[in-house]
Amino acid sequence: MAKRKQETLFTGLRNKIKRRRATVAVIGLGYVGLPLAVEMAKAGQKVYGIDVNDEKIRSIRRGASYVQDVKPSDLKKVVKAGRLIPTTDYSVISEADAIDICVPTPLRKTKDPDMRFIMAALEEIEKYVRRGQLVILESTTYPGTTEEVVLPRLAKDGLKVGRDFFLAFSPERVDPGNKKFDTSRIPKVVGGVTEKCTAVACDLYNCCVKSTVPVTSTTVAEMVKLLENTFRSVNIGLVNEMCLMCARMDIDVWEVIEAAATKPFGFMPFYPGPGLGGHCIPIDPFYLSWKARMAGFETRFIELAGQINSSMPQYVVTKVTDVLNLHKKSLNGARVLVLGVAYKNDVDDTRESPALDVIRQLEEKGARVSYADPLVDTISFDGKKMKSVKISGPALNKYDCAVIVTNHKAFNYGQIVKNSKAIVDTRNALKKFKAPNIHKI
């Protein structure tokens, strides 16, 4: 009888999900959680979107999207239909058949994992968890988190994972601004604590994404995410070092990369820049290296790549100093315009943006810094606010140097080249232009 009851919990949940009759609670409505909540609601599930930020909740209720990848029309449709219900009330978890945790996982200043948002979410889930529920962690973290941290908090009062409730990890793979691969088109890696956990988690994602990729454990799924972003971090570190080397040898690194990329096998182009930004690449490798240290393993490649990448803003400032010297101008007192403060082109996301470090270091050396970004109206850091300036032809000429940190398509590069006294291009945005005022990193 007990075994039959267990099977009923498992099969009942699977059937409910497949028939689009499940209730899902998505915790954390940021760049990951909101797109996922909308896709699940579009697929027909009833979704509670939970966030502690009242402003986000009010915005969703109005159908006003604050995430670039979520169309206001899609948001309005699911909210109006009652399939997406935004709330700050965690008690709705008691109604949920599935709970998806999509909260931030930043680093502490010591480069150690900061788990406070996951722990806060678990404290609330503990109050309302019941038999027959599926819990999935999407927040990027170190291998072992799901089973070492999440599982003990849920396996209480006789509840057994894989029998009474189901637990899995599925790494988020959001690429803000990528129109080709939105949430629904990105394959979803899924690893459960048990085979049943994996199966029911795949069922949930299969209702709203193109494909799922089941793996044998939560630790494998956790490691997948870290490998993906560490791969990028290490290769960007390599090409940044190549950039520094080529500069010393007076070789155009951009031309080198472009020529190397013509090889049809065995080479994947990566590009240098002013540093790493976004929530994933600057942070995820440190989650991995932290866990490795706990196991007595030294991640030399990862640490070295991190050192090189984090040094790039300083290199940009040195380049600006050298360019100003060519014009017999000191950086101290110079007017410098930073073009772009988002961490990547054509998005409004400034998380971990290297532009902030560039601005900070320029100001520390006495430069008078302004910034222009068509997608980011204001920025706040170090206890102060800055507002984007409007740039036109004549206005550009009042700056001693313009620094292209983010290569937004919205910038009029012809106007920038024509009217700027000097330009430091960190993104090769001006590759089609030939002018004496252009200086590449």
Domains of the chain, earliest start first: 2-216 (3.40.50.720), 252-440 (3.40.50.720)
Specify whether 197 is catalytic: no
- Cα-to-chain-centroid distance, residue 32: 8
pLDDT of residue 260: 97
Q: What is the pLDDT of residues 356-412, one digit of tens each?
A: 999 999 999 999 999 999 999 999 988 889 999 998 888 899 999 999 999 999 999
Residue 1: pLDDT above 50? no
pLDDT at position 7 is 65
Mean pLDDT of 173-185: 89
pTM of the model as a whole: 0.90
Mean of all residue pLDDT scores within the chain? 94
Question: In the predicted model, what is the mean pLDDT of residues 304-315?
Answer: 94
Cα–Cα distance measured from residue 388 to residue 370, given in angstroms and rounded to the nearest whole number? 7
Query: Could you identify the residue written with the tokens 């820049």?
Result: 273
Tokens standing for 301? Answer: 């490649």
Residue 302 has pLDDT above 50, yes or no: yes
Report the pLDDT value the prediction gives residue 286, as an integer from 0 to 100: 84
Alpha-carbon torsion (371, 373, 374, 378), positive or negative = negative
Closest CA to 135 of 143, 284, 126: 126
Contact 233, 225 (CB under 8 A): no
Instruction: State the pLDDT at residue 78.
Output: 97
Which tokens sit at 345? 């082109």
Distance (Å, whole) CA 202 – CA 195: 11
Q: Give the model's confidence band at 4: pLDDT under 50 very low, under 70 low, under 90 confident, else very high.
A: low
Query: Dihedrals φ, ψ of 330, to 5°?
Result: -85, 145
| Residue 3 pLDDT grade (very low, low, confident, very high; cuts 50, 70, 90) | low
Q: Comparing C-alpha atoms, which of 427, 434, 375 is closest to residue 405?
A: 427
Q: Looking at 197, 207, 280, 401, which residue is catalytic? A: 280
List strand residue ranges (DSSP E) for 314-395, in order: 335-339, 368-372, 378-381, 384-387
Average pLDDT over residues 208-237: 96
